[in-house]
Structure 1
Amino acid sequence: MTELVKVTVEGGVHRITLNRPEVMNALNREMRLELLAALTAGHNARVIVLTGAGRGFCSGQDLTDAEGLEAAGFEAILNDEYVPMIRAITEAPVPVIAAVNGAAVGAGANLALACDLVIACDSAVFLQAFTRIGLIPDAGGTSFLPRRVGLQRAMGAALLAEPVTARQAEGWGMIWEAVPDDRFAEVVTARAVKLAQGPTAAYAALKQALRGAFDQSLDQQLATEASLQGQCGASADFREGVAAFLGKRPAVFQGR
């Protein structure tokens, strides 16, 4: 039986590969459940990398998967399956990289945008395809997209349902970087290794502070910063970081 989601772990890097290349890694129910389990398991690693097998990242919901697609089932399938997947990414205590190796469409695009760092190959495209079939963006798209690119670009991408190239997405601030296809694997690996060697407790605090910033006033955010910085300042990683700086050597962070 083919694994719909493949997981490898090496050097603290928890690599998750969506593995239905024959359908551009479209998400059916079994795959969604496997992906949720893989993401949750990754919380115990030092960094998570999410990518796709074959020539696409993820083409979104598998429209041939009848279960949950009837009108009465959309809300349930989103609440029961998509929301836990998105939260497993956004609430992960470690950095999550989306390595977008090809087309990211519909829920697949928003699965990528949920991640902390999005790295795409030049040939990748992002497509909010929902209005083509009479739907609105889901899987967090109505939250992630306007926060990353502003309301006008989010409206255009969603209303027109036209592809956004990787370079265009980089220019908009939708993703962190677009890299040449022949360097894509090398760059993703280098980013993942660097993060895996970093101060994981600080990364967790950083994610909490930045992801909550849109929902807080300046005073609230300043208080959050002070609290989280207090926790980081009491950590072994901080002591190691200072010692390494003073000793003019690379820091060796132990993490959680």
Structure 2
Amino acid sequence: MDKAGSEKSIIALEGWLQTPAGVYMRAWEQSCLDNLTADIFGFNAVQIGMPEIDALAASRMPYKLLADRKPRSGRAVDVTLDYTELPFASQSVDLIVLPHVLEFSTDPHQVLREVERVLIPEGQVIICGFNPASLWGARHVLRRVGGTSFLPRTEELISMPRMKDWLKLLNMSASQSHFGCYAPACRTEKWLQRYGFMDNAGSRWWPYFGGVYVIQAVKRVKGMRLIGPAWTRKAAAAPVGVPVTNKRREQQDG
């Protein structure tokens, strides 16, 4: 998929998120992200992409940014950027959340490399993705052989085991993982509600077949040993609110 195709896919995702299935998925992911981010301590947190959810709503970090490829008419975007070239200093961010960014990126490996670069040692990343090993994923694959499309167009869905392998190659180890949205690929709210019982049953009887997953991983640095909790760093730590490129420009103007 070229850059223009990727842009069309992201636009398609924006529209899909307003459908009953998209609303259903956003509700589950918001709840999961709230639970995960509430107990992650630090100073700087960044959500990249998908401003339709507030991935950092429950985070207690003092500096929180929403970054995306373009401004939005609804929720204000703090920083516009290219997913493959993050405008933040190396080892300056405590937490990054990537809600459905990698499956719509032309170079997901480069996005993860940039995430690893800007995260502090023991910093954390949380990734949301569509699960190809699910009823939603199966419906998505069938579109290529004449079936109707359910999920927005992507180049490739990335399975959780594959995602964990990518993270491991970058010395980021998965600490938690969750699956959700077990209802079939239904387009109407009525049928999604009828299959609501599958969310309770699915997490117990077929836990790995949810339509979406969330992975939390920690950046490991070999030979490093933390002494004391990470939040004892000086409160004067600089926020990431101003991209590195802007800081350099300000220094030149001064």
- TM-score normalised per structure 1: 0.27
Normalised to the residue count of structure 2, the TM-score between the two structures is 0.28
User: 1 or 2 for the larger relative contact order (CA 8 Å, sep ≥6)?
Assistant: 2
- Structure richer in helix, relative to its length: 1
